[in-house]
Structure 1
Amino acid sequence: MRIPAFDLSRQTRQLESELQAAIAEVALSGQFILGPAVTRFEQTFGEAFGVHAIGVANGSDALYLALRALDIGPGDEVITTPFTFFATAGSVLRTGAHPVFTDIQLDTFNMDPVEASAHVSPRTRAMLPVHLFGLMADVDTLRVRFRGPVIEDAAQAIGARFHGQWAGAVGDMAGFSFFPTKNLGAWGDAGMVTTKTPGLADKVRMLRVHGSRQKYHHEALGINSRLDTLQAAVLSVKFTHWPEWTARRQALAARYTAYLKDLGVSEVVPPTIPSEAEHVFHQYTIRADRRDALQAYLKDQGIGSTVYYPVPLHLQPILQDLGYRKGQFPHAEEASRTVLSLPMFPELTEDEVDQVVETIARFYGHGGTR
């Protein structure tokens, strides 16, 4: 049995007729840039989560435009985590501001709000917590300790909640990604900025079209970052299914965790779910002894897996000028050495989950099946 880490084709086959109809509607309309499909998707997304929603070209631009809307730039500092995709820190650097890293909590992989507050300086303009792998960071505690703006990196967390609050609706602004492998994925690059503040929403709309509210009249140095109309049509079709897909991911995650426990695989630490959080499992990420050897064994057995992320940002070659050194963020470095994301997508079967767990158990010398 070959089990991929992710298989988008299964989902596409299930939605083929709906997707074809949506694409045909856009094609026949001839409105390919910021057309009605974009407006409808923005409205639907915003109403679902109680925010203003502004479609942009990708998740990286979503974070960049959120930072720009808050006038963050040269001389400013933004506190974030080194255990995330490069775009988190890259978006800060694109504004001319300086990313300041703080360590994660090893059990959740998210920013430690207590440690983050220790890095606040007179130059700190914002906090940028990451809701990694589908679990929201503790923004409530962060807000108690930091009175400035909070920008949520919600790229992996559509539908996640913390204390009943939606990802993307807790901070001052947030950025989502609709990269094809996300829980809500487009057929290419796409992203969304959210905020509850009308003025900030209006500013992002201006910045995403070269700093223009009125055609050919430019108020600021913006960028070209519009949500593609065809992508909006695809996302609108998929948006009607994301609640059931989320429930399916949660059920698969529960099966992974229960079976790992049943087989006594003590060498593996399953994901942590705080009692106040609803995890949406963009990834099912374990911490594993002898991670690289385990991944190689899974590959030999036809099972896909991925390491997110093998090198924390403070050790990336391009960021060495920031002055960080190895050992400075031990939890982030430990996570990079031990994390492994197992197959996770709504169309994964229970038998496939069981096969993955049994293969892991064999690697560590544990026996037994369901």
Structure 2
Amino acid sequence: MNFDFTEKQQRIADQAKQIAQKLDLEDVVQRDLAGTFSKPLFRQLINQGVGKWLLPKSMKGDDLNALELTAGIESLAEHCEDSGLIFALSAHLCACIHPIRAFASSEQQAQWLPKITNEAWIGTHAITEPQAGSDIYAMTTNAQKSEDGFVLNGHKDYITNAPVADFIVVHLRTEDRGNYFDYSTFILHSHEYGVSLAKAPHSKSGLRTTAMGDIHFNDCQVPEDALIGRLGAGAPIFQVSMEWERVCLFALYLGQMKRQLQKTAHYVSERQQFDAPLSSYQAVQHQLCDMYFNYETGRLLLYKAAWSLDKGDMSGVASSLAKISISNAAISNGQTAVQLHGAQGVISGDIERMLRDAMPSAIFSGTSNVLKNNISTALIKRLKAQWI
């Protein structure tokens, strides 16, 4: 068993480090307090190479797999203090670009991917509704067949990147038969007639530099070729998108925790109390050890989940275990880092921001409670089949 990065993984991680270190983040505190997303910084990330990460090789892209994308996102987040920016980018890559790469026709890919990359368009992945959060099958926003294509009606809530989106990947109800094939996936421009994006993003406690908002569809007419895949194929497309999001997107918390560890270790080594550095006290040493343990445990589970994803595992067990572990680790480490920094930990800056940015991790992409239910169901089946 070899835990070393492959040559390509290391190249992507090094590239991500170089790109992140070129970002001008002097205003990140102000943007965080104001809840402002930076499209210029997003454009800079895309233009400096990240935009090619998921492009097919036929389009001169890097065509990264899950392990390679995970390495890239972890490195970006380690060297960029704007976790909201990396979150917005990761959601764009995992839940918008990957479904196009994996499920869109060659004609759709040729229509959308070059434009998205060349003009640094940002995507939004619309699933959640007021009564359809964890219960995705309660979705009511729908697409009705028409002579010219489909007519979309309804609304989506709490959608990442919605207020700043250039295009939308949306899951809609196209049948009402009460089964797995009631849903379909569409792609459309955000400025289509009948589409209304929230102008003001929701004010959030964490990930404030990611814009989150609502999308309304009011008799929005889209052509036949707005449909990704077949009619009724939305559920498996959604499942794959969530697998990539739960795995690759959560690499940003690995990068954040590594940055947090470095800053905390430096602080407790320099901070003097009672004529000795904080790092000389056993209680502090144990807390630092716990932070590192959390990081390493989550990292092992996440990279195993990425490996499983590349092997075609869509059971959701590996990704759910990794997501739960990293959510718990990011929140716990954030609290410990604030505690160890004392007053410096609660003053506006990277340390207190990392705690706030970690808090939503237990909610989005499937709440920890729902994922535990899913793991338990799968576990019982595996035990009965003597598969463990």
The TM-score range, normalised by the shorter chain, is under 0.3
With the length of structure 2 as denominator, give the TM-score of the two structures: 0.25
- Larger helix proportion of the pair: 2
Greater RCO between the two (CA within 8 Å, min separation 6)?
Answer: 1
With the length of structure 1 as denominator, give the TM-score of the two structures: 0.25
